[in-house]
Chain A
């Protein structure tokens, strides 16, 4: 994907620690896998603690190297989470558009991050499994649709491997969380918001690009060498104590795309 990004550029490069949080089986690992390898992997071992991956993302002015911590979703691993989101500059809070409880859990995570993570952390709320819905982005009251789950065999998505409950056979819209509900919540809390499909790849790269754009320049550490001091400076960052509200900017920045 982005192998060229690092090579061709005198562009400043900086690494960003990003953590993925969310209920089990919403497709966190799938999102990362799609982003990092543009791939799926069936029967991937469950994430123990957290998996670590990196991927570069090239913006017009700079290169962002994401250090992605993909955390385990099982409830009891939640108490390990503080270890992973410590010093994270960005977080992807993932829910499953077909599972309302996962949005609740996502809200819990957002609240946790807002209170406990580094100030100024960029949070993106991501509704995954868009491929299971009819509209793929329609904001009309899709949540009202009570039709049964999908027959779609999305073999690539790790999430489905974990999804014991969705085995209905009626074709139709499995969406249970309306875009409006989630996006208005995201607006309220000042989060980036996306609906994605790790299976089809819809919006996946856009999420990461938007995050890359949303990271305030001042909080970026540059290059390897400065990392040591850069990181420590991170903890005491005072300039952007207030969270940056990017809700409305995200649409534009997503278009810019990145080289990955």
Chain B
């Protein structure tokens, strides 16, 4: 964004700054974008952007009856009224206003900080017009003597009706553009283009306009109908329930007829509905209150919802049809309130009224599911429906919720709370004495004023007066609510100063509202003064005395209080949701839960943000105009990404879960900084730098992707399609971290791999478990595991080399443990088929390990790895763990079968939980792994639950003895006891193939580590092979062999270097600097051993390198010193 916008700015300075703009999608900071200010100013749909802007003079023919005067911008001369102002052009609208506009061309592209001008986006105040381009029938260039560039716009005003009105003259607006010839031409060019587009919407326009009461009024059909209806007999358009059930108030007292005449006259002279031109009289007519039958139409016009309706006239009906018969929470909630919406109005005691209300609320709840339905909307919509048709109310409600009252009805109602804060601060500013009194008496103002704002005074004041407030509100915007509210307090100020508590505060105002129709000065001598009602007084005070309260005042205050309000809401939401997480969550400390909560939503929002950016990028690439799919919905630049702002995403998918884990556990961070996921679904990195936000994202650690994480995800999710909810995550973590019980952790881990749920983990599962051990441990143990020199599971070779062994790091020893784990698992595994038992019982221990060794050393099996890689969508970020396709344990793998009889599906085997437990507890390091490292590797807060720390040591000391387990399964004990002596921890079991090679080497204890690593790779490979065997047949393998051999040669060079840094146990160099020395030692040793082994064993190393090379390109940069060292080693190796 930054380079682009600076480019644009440069371009702007070169061209004409006033006329070169691109639509900006969103503003990064809090200030509203120019486009959004422009839309607010003219109440345009969200799709509109300011394209052209020029100073112009609007010349209107002098109407015969216009008597208004006093506007400085207007002067009357022969040609008519003249207004000077700015003319704006968007994609589909041409707008003119005499009010200084709020967006200066000099303002930066994305945000206008020079937010001046009087209107401040309060809507179509000032004189002028907002014409959809489709309303323009004709544009002529006038040749005037004074070389003024003038245009004459002829509109469709009045011509869309079939019948012509008497004495009708087409509406013609003359605009004299003021600016350089070039600028004028450019404006005209854009206008021409827009007009062509606008042509397409004429039919829509006709459709909408024919429903307008103004057309009916002016067509004279009304008069005819009254005379006897012999004309066309056209029924009047729907002007709300009032036509059926009477409008509230006394029409005579409201002087409805004279208002109607005045409006009729205004329409005739200045255009009606979409083609209306605002002159001073317009504003006056609105201030005195709208006539009943025109009220809906004028609301629609001044709020801008008319433009939305013109855009898609059938949307309301279509929405109803589309969602017919569907159910939702919102619908249930709506249903409950239908009978309780303006029940005193007869229309809402009827099925007709209630039906309309139901349909409008329901349709809206579908179009904006984020808001759905909020109590108070029923009251507002009910009020609207008295004066307008369902479709009109539907669009107006949308404008209300999305633009005029942003956040009011959202699920957190932050807009409501924010405006209460704003209101309070305005009271403090304008009425400090009253404010002080309220503070002193501890009366909470917002408790009283909240319903005023939320239901737009509709259920606070008598309806007739509330509608008068609405008349102005729709024209001038939300500031009206504040002005009226302040005026109410000002007028009642003295009485309120006597109030001592909430109760009397409420009752003073209640009384006041009930007497709004009374005279404000009942005892005045002056009959004129006596005639002024309290409501009139209220309006005067609101708009005169508080005229200083502008839209920008409100915006300013909103900005000021927003953070505090959102924080309050978020704190409330957080403590509520943490408290309600259920009994399972109690195993974690409150701090932990808070951390999970924060991290959960942080991840979700960042993920959402990322998706949004991707979406924008995609659209930009498609060169599609950023036009919205629906005309409704919140503005495009609506702020998102905070819990307080409304409905939050509630579930994380697997990818978001990876992000979450990466923030929680070191092992979940990818080894490669970026681009590890090059598949199309994600495409991180492609967006990097395109905006500050995505930059931020890119700088975060990249999550790894490992089968273990997938298992965790599936295990935690109640419905993995839906994703993980906060509850799922908390429960998942609570089970792992909440109890310090090592047994629990072991069980949990076992269950994670018990795919069939029958308490058995098969051969593949065992390998996957070991793979997970390596995955989880590849970043070290953070000091949670210490290798004591217990003799418990030392074998004879180790004993011999006891001294050397001491020099091994925990990590290396852990590798040994994992290796031993696999072997033991196979040793103690049970055959899956009882009938095979005899045959396999004895073989199981020897043969399996045996074969495992023998096949692993063969050099053709390794080829399968690459095939697997290419098949896999998600290349594994680390060497030791290639994700296998799934853990379903499907035994269909002919390839492996032939290669390795040990994996013969006819000879399946499995381990049970007790076996697993026994094997784990047999190894000191694995035991510690489960006891402390694994649960502790999930980093939450610094204050874990006390219980999760307390019992750990004592428990384990009780449980980790071998006999404990043995007693549970006596039969096993016998086997375990006898066999383990011979084979447990024995790095070299009596294997046939491998032994020959190894017997020569094994004398050196240090080499053992290298061997362990190799064995792990074998296991890994075996796993790959299994996974692969399912997908590929042998022919392919052979082909790949060739390829592989070639690449192997290259890998020996290129991969050789990286394999040291990013190998199975190579981690983040900085973090583990202390151990580097140790590791280097070992690596030196390994190289040594390799040399000793000579040609035969170098194959093995090739294998290692090949395996690691897959990701060397993307791995983090190891320190250069280390690099150099490694290189030297490789050289050594090569020589």
Q: Footprint of B on A, CB under 8 Å?
A: 15, 17, 24-25, 42-50, 52, 54, 67, 69, 72, 74-80, 82-84, 86-87, 108, 111-112, 115-116, 161-165, 224-225, 227-228, 231-232
Contact = CB atoms under 8 A, between A and B. Distances in A.
A50 B417 CA distance: 14
A38 B454 CA distance: 29
21 contacts: A44-B340, A46-B378, A48-B379, A69-B447, A74-B333, A75-B411, A76-B410, A79-B412, A80-B450, A108-B576, A108-B580, A112-B576, A116-B575, A161-B340, A162-B337, A164-B335, A224-B500, A228-B440, A228-B442, A228-B500, A232-B442
Interface string B570-581: 001101100110
Contact of B411 (A76, A163, A164, A227): A76
A227 B441 contact: yes
A80 B568 CA distance: 10
Contacts of A74: 333, 374-375
Given A83-B444, A224-B501, 5 more contacts: A46-B375, A67-B503, A69-B502, A116-B575, A225-B500
Nearest to B416: A80
Contact of A49 (B341, B447, B500): B447
A24 B444 contact: no
B506 to A, nearest CB: 5
Contacts of A232: 442
A80 B413 contact: yes
Chain A CB count within 10 A is highest, among B414, B447, B506, for B447
A140 to B, nearest CB: 27
Given A77-B375, A161-B340, A227 B444 contact: no
Q: Is the interface of B mostly helix, strand, loop or mixed?
A: helix
A52 B580 contact: no
B332 interface: yes
A227 B447 contact: no
A77 B411 CA distance: 8
Nearest to A75: B411
B502 A83 contact: no
B340 A46 contact: yes
A86 B506 CA distance: 17
* Chain A CB within 10 A, most for which of B337, B442, B450: B442
A48 B446 CA distance: 12
B375 A164 contact: no
Given A54-B503, A78-B576, A84 B447 contact: yes
B903 to A, nearest CB: 51
B454 A48 contact: yes
A110 to B, nearest CB: 10
B441 A161 contact: no
Contacts of B339: 42-43, 161
Contacts of A228: 440-442, 500
Interface of B: 332-333, 335-337, 339-343, 374-376, 378-379, 410-414, 416-417, 440-442, 444, 446-447, 450-451, 454-455, 459, 500-503, 506, 568-569, 572-573, 575-576, 579-580
A48 B455 contact: yes
A79 B569 contact: yes
A236 to B, nearest CB: 12
Contacts of A43: 339-340, 343
A83 to B, nearest CB: 6
Given A43-B339, A79-B569, A80-B450, A86 B500 contact: no
Contacts of A87: 442
A76 B451 contact: no
A215 B573 CA distance: 30
A227 B333 contact: no
Contacts of B447: 49-50, 52, 69, 83-84
Binding site secondary structure of chain A: mixed
A49 B450 contact: yes
B336 A161 contact: yes
Contacts of B375: 46-48, 72, 74, 77
Counting from the closest, the 6 A-B pairs by CB-CB distance are A231-B442, A49-B450, A162-B336, A43-B343, A48-B451, A227-B500
Nearest to A78: B576
A80 B340 contact: no
A45 B579 CA distance: 32
Given A79-B412, A80-B450, A46 B337 contact: yes
A46 B337 CA distance: 7
B413 A52 contact: no
Contacts of A162: 336-337
Contacts of A49: 447, 450-451, 454
B413 A77 contact: yes
Contact of A24 (B335, B336, B440): B336
Contacts of A164: 332, 335-336
Nearest to B378: A46
Contacts of B379: 45, 48
A206 B765 CA distance: 64
Contacts of B568: 82
A108 B572 contact: no
A52 B503 contact: yes
A50 B572 CA distance: 18
Contacts of A84: 447
A136 B451 CA distance: 37
Contacts of B343: 43-45
Nearest to B455: A48
A67 B410 contact: no
A129 B341 CA distance: 24
B73 to A, nearest CB: 42
A163 B335 CA distance: 9
A47 to B, nearest CB: 8
A251 B122 CA distance: 60
A3 B413 CA distance: 39
A165 B333 CA distance: 11
B459 A45 contact: yes
Contacts of B333: 24, 74
Contacts of B341: 45
Contacts of A25: 336
Contacts of A83: 444, 446-447, 450
B501 A67 contact: yes
Interface centre among A43, A45, A163, A225 (most CB of B within 10 A): A45
A161 B572 CA distance: 30
A52 B410 CA distance: 24
A132 B336 CA distance: 19
A164 B333 CA distance: 9
A48 B375 CA distance: 7
A165 B375 CA distance: 18
A74 B576 CA distance: 15
Contacts of B503: 15, 52, 54, 67
A50 B444 CA distance: 12
A21 to B, nearest CB: 12
A162 B335 CA distance: 8
Contacts of A17: 502
Given A86-B444, A161-B340, A76 B412 contact: yes
Contacts of A15: 501, 503
A80 B416 CA distance: 9
A226 to B, nearest CB: 9
A111 B590 CA distance: 14
A112 B573 CA distance: 11
Nearest to B440: A228
A48 B416 CA distance: 12
A139 to B, nearest CB: 25
Contacts of B412: 76, 79
Contacts of B442: 87, 228, 231-232
A87 B441 CA distance: 12
B138 to A, nearest CB: 50
Nearest to B437: A228
B420 to A, nearest CB: 8
A165 B379 CA distance: 23
Contacts of B340: 43-46, 161
Contact of A76 (B374, B506, B576): B374
Contacts of B569: 79
